Structure formats: structure tokens, C-alpha cells
Amino acid sequence: MHTTPRREAESTATFVAEPAGGTAVTETNVAPDRAAELRGQMVDALVADGTIISTQVEAVMRAVPRHRFALDASLEQAYDAYKAVFTKKDEHGVITSSVSAPQIQAMMLEQADIGPGMRVLEIGSGGYNAELLAELVGEAGEVTTMDIDSDVTARAARLLADTGYGRVRVVTGDAEAGEPAGAPYDRIMVTAGAWDVPPAWTAQLAPAGRLVVPLRIKGLTRSIAFDRVADHLIGSSGQVCGFVPMQGAGVHQEQQLLVTGTGEIALRFDDGLPLEPSRLDNAVRTPRAESWTGVRVGRQEPFDTLQLFLATVLPGFCIMAVDPDLDTGLVAPSNKWFSMATVDDRGFAYLTTRPTADPQTVEFGVHAFGPNGPALTETVAAQVRAWDQEQRGGPGPRIEVHPAGTPDDRLPAGRVVDKRHSRVTISWSAARSADDQVVPPAPTAQGE
């Protein structure tokens, strides 16, 4: 593993304008000692918070000068352990490329478990992560990095050459087909948000290969380490993350339902709208129903398994967002941008919280609208309690990816999410029996 620090002063980066939060990095103003100091602080923070756990990942992140790949950032921004640096936007101002936050990059490198001599394909290029991969595989290994955007790959190739890593193979192409020229790969690392797993990614893995991918399931993105087992993938170590979405043939857009007609309240669906979305039109005209679960969590306590659990057991699961400029207070989620929600025949419910006597904790509750609101709140509240009693603090679900068309009797028990190329299954631990894991029917509206 090559860990000799390069000379920071050799950077050829130039800037048009100075970024906020510090002085732009140029070839004349980089202080090598200051860059090394900030890089050390970044790695120290990631070791302290448990993101970096291996000596290999720690060593390469201490060695590679990240600021030379974050050309539109100050040194302070480049070495912020928890923030991404955006490198390209489209004509609408939408971010299309970035250097991911160091925390996310370290997390995925740990998931990938890359060793010397491996062949690695990176999908979603930028240069910095490819150099980290090259450090991990060493001189005997091979790294290919690819991106659909020729501007991104040209930039990556230039920066990799500038830092002495011209041996990394840079490819421009749509990753839906993978990159067969370098296959089979011991590891495929996807650094763009994916809604599906194309067949090429599994086919191009070595028999015992591993795919690390930020996979979106029911609107929730998790970085999952999948190991290949014959024709399918078995996942573990799902971690919350966010990425610029895939472009090209793998693009997939969420669908949005405005329940008030004004844009104040939007419900986002990852796998298609309800069969009769117009039946929700009058839901907000009914009184709001409430149910409190008695389930408490610490204000800083992660509860990402609750999100996946509700996505598994609630057939109408979706994400609710409130436009702050149009907010009338009709709904009161704890997070206006991202709240877990679900719909039934003629109404919707969402998860919220309220303070408790202990200032360090909050209690989960459910609000609902529609003629079946009271019953819907109880349905959701019951599932929150089930998570608390049976899954909280556990390892999370087992997630598998099987080829599209795989018969039901060849899939594990649990929720099946059908996508274009695959069937994704979410199965929970033995605390719930197979019968318990059958998805319950949506509640029927009262009076029908």
C-alpha cells in the first residue's frame, strides 16, 4: 500500500472566484503543513466517531490530499469531515457531480473491505475516491473509474495524472452496462444514488465479489454491502447516506402527490402513485386524528431501522414534505423536509414527535387525516411499538437483490419491492415470524 505523502504545493488548481468560508486553493497559496494538519484533523474525527475502523482506510485517508480534487473549495471546506464539495451543476442549478463527504467515503471503503491486488470498478467518478482505491489495491491491483459525464471524467483523468495516479483507468460511459473490459471485478463501488441494480453489475462481479451501492428502497437510501451468491446478492451493513442520483438509463424519478392542491403538502412515492390518488383530495378537510405511541428516543439517537421497518410493513409507505413558504400549520411533522408517511383508501398519516419530561428524549406519535384517520393512526402506532419491542437496537433487516422474474417461492420471507431489473427483499430477524412479516392489507375506509 502506497502511503507516502505527495507534495501539496504541486497543485495546479485555479479559481475564478473565492469561495465562502476560506481562501481558494491555488498553486501559489497552498501551505503543505496546513493541508496536512487539516487532513489529520479530518481523519482523527472519523476515527473518533467510529466511521474509520481499519488501519488501511485510516492510512490512505491520511495520505491522499483531498483538497487537490475539491478545486472549488477552501482548505477548510475540503477537509470538513462531514460535508460534500459540489463540483458541477446543470442548467437548472441541480447538482450533478460532487466529491462526497469524507465520512461517507470512509464508511463505504470500510464496507467494501478492499485489499491489495484487487480489481475495482468505481461507478461515479471524481478522482479522489479513485485515488483512495488505488492506494488500497496497491501496484498489483487495478482501478477503473467511470462516469456518464465526459466533463467529469476529463476532470478526473487530469487530476489523477497531476497527483501521480495516471495508472487509474478512466472511462466515459453509461454505467447501466457496467464496464465489461475490466471484468470480473473483486469490488464494484457505486458513488451515485441508484434505484435499481442492473444485471451487468452482478454479472461483472467475481464469484465472491462485493458490490457497495447507495440503493434507494421505498424512498430511503442506504449504502449496502452486497456479496454475490450465484445469481443474486445478499446485503449487510446498510448505512444511511445521500448521493447525487444516477443519470442515463438508470435514472428513476419519484412521483409526487400534492394533497392540498397548493403545493403545501407533498407526498413522494418511489414506486408509483396510489391507484386512485384523487380519493385523497378531501382528506385534509377532516379533523386531524392523533395517537401517541409511548415509544421514546433520544434526540441524538439514530432510528434508521424504524424507517426501513415502516417501509416494510406499511403498504402505502411514502415520504411527506412541507413547503416552508406555503406552510399553514395544517400538518406538524418534526422534520418538514422528510417525514415518514403512509396512505390508505382516502387518507394519509405521518410520524411526528413531541417533547417528554426528559429534555433529552422525544416520543413518537402519529397524525392522520381522512375518514379512517383514527384507525390509521392506531395501525401506524402499533407498528412503531412492534419495532420498539422486536427490532430496536438489532442488526436491521437482511436485504437481498434477485433478478427480475425470480419466482416468489425462491425469495426469502419478507417484503418484496419490484424494480425494473431486480426484486429486492427486506427480511427482519427471528423476533418476527414469517407470518408476522406478511404485509398487512391497507385499512378500509369506514362506511365502505
The CATH number linked to 213 is 3.40.50.150
Residue 442 has pLDDT above 80, yes or no: no
Q: What whole-number percentage of the chain has pLDDT above 70?
A: 86
Please give the mean pLDDT across all residues of the chain.
87
Does 234 lie in the same domain as 107? Answer: yes
Catalytic residue among 11, 74, 98, 100: 100
pLDDT top residue among 94 and 353: 353
Does 348 lie in the same domain as 218? Answer: no
Cα distance between the two ends of the chain: 67
Nearest-angstrom CA–CA distance, 312 and 310: 5
Least confident of 40-44, 91-95, 185-189, 290-294: 91-95
In a domain, 448, yes or no: no
Nearest-angstrom CA–CA distance, 448 and 38: 64
Domain count, the chain: 2
Residue 287 has pLDDT above 50, yes or no: yes
- Helix (H) or strand (E) holding 416, with range, is strand 415-418
In a domain, 427, yes or no: no
Does 362 lie in the same domain as 280? Answer: yes
For residue 93, the model assigns a pLDDT of 66
For residue 313, the model assigns a pLDDT of 95
- DSSP H helices in 243-402: 304-313, 373-390
Domain, as residue range, for 341: 255-390
Phi, then psi, of 232 in degrees rounded to 5: -135, 180
pLDDT top residue among 370 and 2: 370
Cell of 381: 402506532
Nearest-angstrom CA–CA distance, 99 and 81: 12
Which of 245, 273, 301 finishes a domain?
245
Does 155 lie in the same domain as 259? Answer: no
Measured CA distances, 285 to 276, 316, 346 (Å): 18, 20, 11
Least confident of 83-87, 189-193, 364-368, 384-388: 83-87
Which of 390, 412, 438 finishes a domain?
390
Least confident of 28-32, 112-116, 347-351, 404-408: 28-32
Instruction: List pLDDT tens digits, range 201-255.
Output: 999 999 999 999 999 999 999 999 999 999 999 997 689 988 888 899 999 999 9
Phi, then psi, of 129 in degrees rounded to 5: -65, -35
In a domain, 141, yes or no: yes
Nearest-angstrom CA–CA distance, 119 and 141: 6
Phi, then psi, of 99 in degrees rounded to 5: -95, 115
Least confident of 19-28, 55-64, 324-333: 19-28
Does 224 lie in the same domain as 80? Answer: yes
Cell of 178: 457496467
In a domain, 321, yes or no: yes
221 contacts 240 by C-beta, under 8 angstroms: yes
For residue 29, the model assigns a pLDDT of 52
In a domain, 415, yes or no: no
Does 57 lie in the same domain as 170? Answer: yes
Which of 363, 390, 417 finishes a domain?
390
Nearest-angstrom CA–CA distance, 186 and 14: 37
Strands 205-217 and 185-190: parallel
111 contacts 239 by C-beta, under 8 angstroms: yes
DSSP assignment letter at 218: T
Does 354 lie in the same domain as 222? Answer: no
Q: What pTM did the predictor assign?
A: 0.86
Does 306 lie in the same domain as 237? Answer: no
Instruction: List pLDDT tens digits, range 24-64.
Output: 444 445 678 899 999 999 999 999 999 999 999 999 999 99
Q: What whole-number percentage of the chain has pLDDT above 90?
A: 72
In a domain, 409, yes or no: no
In a domain, 420, yes or no: no
Residue 100 is among the residues annotated as catalytic for this protein: yes
Nearest-angstrom CA–CA distance, 274 and 282: 15
